[in-house]
Structure 1
């Protein structure tokens, strides 16, 4: 909660703060607010994928708060408290049955700046010397990445001993974030340090600080911080201008990423402010815890695969992109597993790397990563699909224009007629490539002048205009049945013309020429001699 101070007091405090504290730009983590955008490539309009994350927000509006012990809140029964700085000012009441006097845990997260100041308050230390121990657990049931300092504002003096703890497994185990004490050696046997004592190599060290456990004079002495941005500055520079260096470390160092990641926070209050070295046992109503505000700034951890986080049914979850799923986008969607899942990358700045996984449109549940090409291909595409992403139809099938790419019926069989088509393939509209004389979408019909006979064959004869020759008969208009000795489409050729020896050979099918006998040869010679003599005796004709 904020008080209004005099201008001179504010100016004085501003000077002190500027001397002791770094100032950082508000948008220290960058944006990475777009997961994908449409771009034009050689293949046309396509998607360009980028690393993305939700915007940072006040995460206290999504948490569940638990107190241990459960009855540690004041007001049941009603109680009167004294001011720490004035043990005789005992007019503060806490009554859980009266709204104006109640101090429930929800007041640690209400709107700051209300007048009078609202705050949660514990019971007093009436069981002294038994320790007044309180655990305040903040749970999100979701992994959160911290982006700003954690700030607690106390209304009763800052605790003399306190531990801030974190959990990464939803409260199953806890690790300390930082110890706070007026005397670190006495309280935790630790040397006191500040965040300015850390280096890049010791950033993950757990320290005890005495900076936030002393008494207070004005408002800014009421706060206890866990410095997130001072730790970022060890890599990004004093004003967080070199974010590439920080992003590179977050990409490559899991322990560093995990250091700034939580599912739960636990504030362990071990000893209230006493304002002195000795506890006033005669006025224990001075000692209690009161917290007016807790700030936890961060974002849903989505592993750079989502740019928005939704709060539904009291639960945060990422709206995952890049074919990932799960509350943190921590695994591949069904049918999109290409290689081992990994988070996105902040690098190269400014878009990062999305690490897109295999997209098979539901037609394959197995992919193969080809390291040489740095690409993933779908294996064993189903539903008659093929291609790197099962986005094409296999040969003999064509795309169903009315179906989406992830529809099981996206590819329709061509069903080309095996006798009428050149092959079993068709074009994008399902029309097959037909042989000569064949037509129709599936090549199942004949053009004029052709007849179907396990395919379209041209008309040969009809016993009218196209007659078979040499005594041949027309069979079904597609062929002539030729008599022995003739062949050809219309029986127009003698069979012997295509045989060995031609039509004069012994196998020609024609009548053989009998060789003349010797007596016949002598008779022919004699006849020829007589004829020659007769000619020579005839008188010349003038």
Structure 2
């Protein structure tokens, strides 16, 4: 936070503050210290103003009362700046026909990955593999079942927190469910993500699956901390069969129906478990409907966010939930003779938001 100085005429009520060692008083002008973004001296300035208030508690002159009012305002401004300083000045350099100019815009919190702050809950109880230990196969090598999940062994465990770890060693870690050994009973799992505050999406939600993406899945959102839920997007290898919905992609949408909840087949069809691991909720493509394919006209998006009913609300949430309804099948039907190759495994969840 930088401290800006503004000259005042001699005799201004705030010139009396200059008696402090922190606030020097020149002969002809005095300086008002104004808190603004990124100032390490803000607590010092606030303390100085507080000290002046303490030293002159009994003064009743109009001049002193005005000085005290100014000091109180300075205190409030400084302490507010500690919290709101990052929003003090919002501008960007843009090119125009007349050259580069500074463009002012509404201040917003910085967009960032929210996975470090989310609380993860997995249901139903016992859906995570490893208790008891069990072996599992892969869709590429369905009869080579040498892998094991064991919750008691850190090297073989796959707990839920591995969906949001940083994987700094380069080794991929992931949460994994039990296998579909109880087929034809459905293999269902819910993953609830909570932040205890309202957030606004700024980029695509991306869920990375190991060993194949689900063939049926629903992404839900809540705006009231999980008390009620509404579908955000449906995913299936056959939308008509799974949800009685015609398949759609975001580029099929228009500005008039951009907030429509769709079913997409783009992320559910079998392409090999190593070729494409991600399932996305496409935020950038929705932004592009207003800002253009390269997102160069963000002013148009921001204007629509403020003027179009329900648009900002569409990207706002407090909680998200993944409902995993059927695992990857390897491009075929369920093969009853080897059910140990069917399960869910998630290595990462990215939620860029502000």
> 1:67·1:134 contact (CA, 8 Å) conserved in 2?
yes
> 2:239·2:247 contact (CA, 8 Å) conserved in 1?
yes
Give the aligned partner of residue 268 of structure 1.
Answer: 323
Q: Deviations over 1:389-421 (max 9, x none)?
A: xxxxxxxxxxxxxxxxxxxxxxxxxxxxxxxxx
**Structure with the bigger percentage of helix:** 2
Give the aligned partner of residue 281 of structure 1.
Answer: 336
Q: Deviations over 1:455-504 (max 9, x none)?
A: xxxxxxxxxxxxxxxxxxxxxxxxxxxxxxxxxxxxxxxxxxxxxxxxxx
**Matches of 1:36 and 1:221, distance apart in 2:** 41
Pick closer, same or farther for the CA change 1:184–1:114 going to 2, 3 Å. farther
Q: Shift in Å at residue 220 of structure 1? A: 4.8
Which among 266, 269, 283 is matched to residue 214 of structure 1?
A: 269
Give the aligned partner of residue 206 of structure 2.
Answer: 151
**Matches of 2:170 and 2:146, distance apart in 1:** 18
Question: 1 or 2 for the larger relative contact order (CA 8 Å, sep ≥6)?
Answer: 2
Q: Does 1:294 align with 2:349?
A: yes
User: 3-state SS of the aligned residue for 2:181?
Assistant: coil
Q: Shift in Å at residue 278 of structure 1? A: 2.1
Give the aligned partner of residue 34 of structure 1.
Answer: 87
**Matches of 1:111 and 1:219, distance apart in 2:** 20
**Matches of 1:239 and 1:220, distance apart in 2:** 26
Q: Shift in Å at residue 207 of structure 1? A: 0.8
Which among 136, 140, 157 is matched to residue 81 of structure 1?
A: 136
**Matches of 1:69 and 1:282, distance apart in 2:** 26
Alignment of 1:465-476 (within 5 A): none
**Matches of 1:267 and 1:33, distance apart in 2:** 33
Q: Deviations over 1:201-231 (max 9, x none)?
A: 1101111111101223364511101100110
TM-score (norm 2): 0.70
User: 3-state SS of the aligned residue for 1:66?
Assistant: strand
User: 3-state SS of the aligned residue for 1:100?
Assistant: coil
Q: Shift in Å at residue 114 of structure 1? A: 4.2
RMSD, aligned α-carbons: 1.8
Q: Deviations over 1:124-152 (max 9, x none)?
A: 11111011010000000100111010001
Give the aligned partner of residue 245 of structure 1.
Answer: 300
**Matches of 2:301 and 2:108, distance apart in 1:** 16
User: 3-state SS of the aligned residue for 1:61?
Assistant: coil
Which among 291, 309, 318 is matched to residue 236 of structure 1?
A: 291
Give the aligned partner of residue 260 of structure 2.
Answer: 205
Which among 220, 229, 243 is matched to residue 174 of structure 1?
A: 229
**Matches of 1:256 and 1:114, distance apart in 2:** 40
Which among 240, 243, 256 is matched to residue 185 of structure 1?
A: 240
User: 3-state SS of the aligned residue for 2:121?
Assistant: strand
Q: Shift in Å at residue 164 of structure 1? A: 0.6
Q: Shift in Å at residue 156 of structure 1? A: 1.6
- Residue correspondences, number: 257
> 1:161·1:180 contact (CA, 8 Å) conserved in 2?
yes
Could you list the structure 1 runs, at least 4 aligned residues long, displaced by more than 6 angstroms after superposition: none
User: 3-state SS of the aligned residue for 1:71?
Assistant: coil
Q: Shift in Å at residue 175 of structure 1? A: 1.1
> 1:154·1:223 contact (CA, 8 Å) conserved in 2?
yes
Give the aligned partner of residue 100 of structure 2.
Answer: none
User: 3-state SS of the aligned residue for 1:60?
Assistant: coil
> 2:212·2:273 contact (CA, 8 Å) conserved in 1?
no
Q: Shift in Å at residue 287 of structure 1? A: 0.4
Alignment of 1:103-114 (within 5 A): 103-112=158-167, 114=169
Q: Deviations over 1:245-289 (max 9, x none)?
A: 111111123410110011000000000011143211121111000
Larger radius of gyration: 1
> 2:213·2:279 contact (CA, 8 Å) conserved in 1?
yes
Q: Shift in Å at residue 77 of structure 1? A: 0.3
Give the aligned partner of residue 129 of structure 1.
Answer: 184
Query: Comparing 252-261 with 157-166, which one deviates more in the overlay?
Result: 252-261
- For structure 2, the residue ranges without an aligned partner over 5 or more in a row are 1-84, 91-103
Alignment of 1:266-345 (within 5 A): 266-299=321-354
> 2:217·2:234 contact (CA, 8 Å) conserved in 1?
yes
